[in-house]
A and B are shown apart, each in its own frame.
Chain A
């Protein structure tokens, strides 16, 4: 029978299937970070259990690491969380990329970079943006801490089968419009929960034409419209990215892997529970105006009239009036970072806009590379100099102001143009106001001091 990519990936990981029970799935890679794991390790210890497959478990520090000043700059509780991770990894023999290591970074940035993320795998992490790894044609989703404990102990996870959705994107992306705008536009159309209970495959010529970075940006935000996972069938772009990465197969194993990976696509005639078509050629750069990623509009538009109490509440929180041109909204801060948009390509795109210009005097702007190796690569090609000359702060890798667990936060009332994925109330700091957008759009906002259509600057 014709199967979707998601079904193929699922079937390949079933350890056991029984009527009336969730399938028991085998996990190929378990990524661990400091915030959602301590209680799981503690649970193991209390039950006298150990990690079944430390060789399939990789840990890093990202959520609450300081982005300057090293580990000593962290507050006491953050430091304790990091110490506990070090201790847990040492006790269980788990590879850990801690601060100071070249491989440290946001968990969803380092997996692909190290070649740990490969097509066909099942990947989980105690973090909702694990869907990022689906860009490689992997089944990847976020889990809670109790599930982290289950995977640590058994390398398996009971999961109920999910439905399938297809999002087909065609048409050429106009100049100044990016993968971020595809996904923001999509979420604006579907709302925050249309994907619930589903595995989503992004496909079509526009997706095929995207780099791995662009595909990761889209898969990353699958969770923002409620999907369990997002994925893209692997192709030559994928293979070229994976080849030569530290953990990628080599020689004969590479050939075998390629043979398998080429079969990872939805069969012709495979049936989806729903299909959504997106015309990329009609897209404009998007910005969010509210407190969910679905409260979004083209930057050429205006703050809409509220349609619900949720909208009204969002406008109140954001201190915006209906009818105001989005491009008239002044900002205080700019954050270029996060697992959505802090890879090398993102930094290049932002630097391209910034080159030779200067950050608006009223704006404080910062770049937080997604990983230490992104940072080093960017420095090698001189991007740091472009940002610094323009007046940006150039920081060390981490989640930083995507969620503000470290000192990088907005002050109450501050308004931020951000390349991250969530604009929830207080996400970037209590009382802070977040507008989500692409890296070039955030760069343009930094220069002009307000939300602006990046096409006016290129």
Chain B
């Protein structure tokens, strides 16, 4: 369960590209770990290996907010992508749009994925390109991204917002619905497939 998160404050790093897919964020050769941590060094591995990758420039070291292009996080459902971004040091990502599974994965990882209109994202990218020390606050409570001379309100669904603010454990919330779940299970059609809970591999 991620810790509660109310706001993220810090410097930005720009990734001025659309359709950044999770294969780029964390290439498959690093998906073989069985832990949730330790992915940071492999973030954007192939791009960084080619040299002069924007996130490796000294002026962006320690940035906490990633600003990126549209449809960020498309492709594979690998939650290793937000794990790697978080491990690397990011706590929030701002983009004009996110792929659905990726955004959900971010919330579960305690990463703020914030959608702003294209023009405002453009402004942030220009700003950090010009002045890498520019600070932003991504304020989940107040639902706005603000900095020197600007404040951009953002929308976020009420439920994930609550979960992020309070750091709830989804599973224990669902477990409170035991009666409803049991009633649903009771009423399921009997023909629905079920697999005897044994190791099938031994049988075939």
A257 near B174 with CB under 8 A, answer: no
Q: How far is the CA of A197 from the CA of B61 in the complex (A)?
A: 34
A425 near B190 with CB under 8 A, answer: no
Name the distance in Å between A359's Cβ and chain B's nearest Cβ: 27
Q: Which residue of B lies closest to A104 (CB)?
A: B201
A55 near B197 with CB under 8 A, answer: yes
A424 near B170 with CB under 8 A, answer: no
**Which of the segments A141-149, A172-180, A201-209, A450-458 contacts the partner chain?**
A141-149
Interfacial chain B residues near A150, Cβ < 8 Å:
170-171, 174
Q: Which residue of B lies closest to A20 (CB)?
A: B158
A305 at the interface (CB under 8 A from B): no
B171 near A47 with CB under 8 A, answer: yes
B99 near A196 with CB under 8 A, answer: yes
Q: How far is the CA of A75 from the CA of B71 in the complex (A)?
A: 34
B100 at the interface (CB under 8 A from A): yes
Interfacial chain B residues near A308, Cβ < 8 Å:
18
B171 near A39 with CB under 8 A, answer: no
Flag B46-85 by CB within 8 Å of A: 1 or 0 each.
Answer: 1001000000000000000000011100111111100000
Q: Which residue of A lies closest to B17 (CB)?
A: A310
Task: Find the residue from A16, A22, A81, A431 having the highest chain B CB count within 10 A.
Answer: A16
Given contacts A47-B171, A256-B191, contact A93 B198 (CB under 8 A): yes
Q: Which of A256, A422, A431 is within 8 Å of B23, CB to CB?
A: A422
Interfacial chain A residues near B77, Cβ < 8 Å:
36, 126-128, 142-144
Q: Which of B74, B159, B175 is within 8 Å of A226, CB to CB?
A: B74
Q: Which of B97, B177, B200, B204 is within 8 Å of A16, CB to CB?
A: B177
B87 at the interface (CB under 8 A from A): no
B192 near A28 with CB under 8 A, answer: yes
Interfacial chain A residues near B204, Cβ < 8 Å:
97, 101-103
Q: How far is the CA of A302 from the CA of B112 in the complex (A)?
A: 41
Q: How far is the CA of A78 from the CA of B157 in the complex (A)?
A: 38
Q: Which of A95, A146, A156 is within 8 Å of B198, CB to CB?
A: A95
In the complex, chain A residues 247-299 whose Cβ is within 8 Å of any chain B Cβ: 247-249, 253-254, 256-257, 260, 292
Q: How far is the CA of A347 from the CA of B101 in the complex (A)?
A: 31
A149 near B100 with CB under 8 A, answer: no
A97 near B29 with CB under 8 A, answer: no
Given contacts A80-B34, A192-B71, A193-B99, contact A156 B174 (CB under 8 A): yes
A118 at the interface (CB under 8 A from B): yes
Given contacts A36-B79, A98-B201, A103-B204, contact A64 B190 (CB under 8 A): no
B197 near A253 with CB under 8 A, answer: no
B181 near A26 with CB under 8 A, answer: yes
Interfacial chain A residues near B180, Cβ < 8 Å:
15-16, 24
In the complex, chain A residues 113-167 whose Cβ is within 8 Å of any chain B Cβ: 115-116, 118, 121, 126-128, 142-147, 149-150, 153-156, 158, 160
In the complex, chain A residues 211-267 whose Cβ is within 8 Å of any chain B Cβ: 226, 228, 247-249, 253-254, 256-257, 260
Q: Which residue of B lies closest to A228 (CB)?
A: B100
Interfacial chain A residues near B35, Cβ < 8 Å:
39, 42
Q: Which of B24, B49, B71, B157 is within 8 Å of A160, CB to CB?
A: B157
Range for the number of chain B residues in contact with chain A: 35 or more
Interfacial chain B residues near A144, Cβ < 8 Å:
77-79, 101, 104-105, 108
B76 near A154 with CB under 8 A, answer: no
Count, A-B residue pairs, CB within 8 A: 216
Flag B180-204 by CB within 8 Å of A: 1 or 0 each.
Answer: 1100110011111111111111001
A29 at the interface (CB under 8 A from B): yes
Q: How far is the CA of A93 from the CA of B29 in the complex (A)?
A: 29
Q: How far is the CA of A283 from the CA of B41 in the complex (A)?
A: 45
A413 at the interface (CB under 8 A from B): no
Q: How far is the CA of A144 from the CA of B198 in the complex (A)?
A: 26
A154 near B79 with CB under 8 A, answer: no
B27 at the interface (CB under 8 A from A): yes
A101 near B201 with CB under 8 A, answer: yes
Given contacts A154-B181, A156-B181, contact A247 B193 (CB under 8 A): yes
Interfacial chain B residues near A325, Cβ < 8 Å:
none
A444 at the interface (CB under 8 A from B): no
B28 at the interface (CB under 8 A from A): yes
Given contacts A128-B75, A310-B18, contact A256 B105 (CB under 8 A): no
Q: Which residue of B lies closest to A121 (CB)?
A: B192
Interfacial chain A residues near B46, Cβ < 8 Å:
425-426, 430-431
Q: Which of A118, A153, A196, A430 is within 8 Å of B100, CB to CB?
A: A196
A155 near B181 with CB under 8 A, answer: yes
Interfacial chain B residues near A29, Cβ < 8 Å:
193
A95 near B195 with CB under 8 A, answer: yes
Q: Which residue of A lies closest to B29 (CB)?
A: A405
B175 near A15 with CB under 8 A, answer: no
A436 at the interface (CB under 8 A from B): no
Name the distance in Å between B48's Cβ and chain A's nearest Cβ: 12
Interfacial chain A residues near B201, Cβ < 8 Å:
95-98, 100-101
Q: Which residue of B lies closest to A94 (CB)?
A: B197
B33 near A77 with CB under 8 A, answer: yes
In the complex, chain A residues 286-334 whose Cβ is within 8 Å of any chain B Cβ: 292, 308-310, 313
Q: Contacts A158-B174, A424-B21 known; list 19 others, CB within 8 Å.
A: A15-B184, A24-B174, A24-B177, A39-B36, A78-B32, A116-B195, A128-B76, A142-B77, A143-B101, A146-B105, A149-B171, A153-B174, A154-B174, A197-B100, A226-B99, A260-B189, A292-B74, A403-B28, A422-B23
Which positions in B face A, CB cutoff 8 Å?
16-19, 21, 23-24, 27-29, 31-36, 46, 49, 69-71, 74-80, 97, 99-101, 104-105, 108-109, 157-159, 170-171, 174-175, 177, 180-181, 184-185, 188-201, 204
5 A-B residue pairs with CB within 8 Å: A26-B188, A47-B171, A55-B196, A116-B193, A313-B17
**Ordered nearest first, which 7 A-B pairs have the shortest CB separation?**
A146-B108, A249-B191, A77-B32, A93-B197, A38-B34, A144-B105, A54-B197
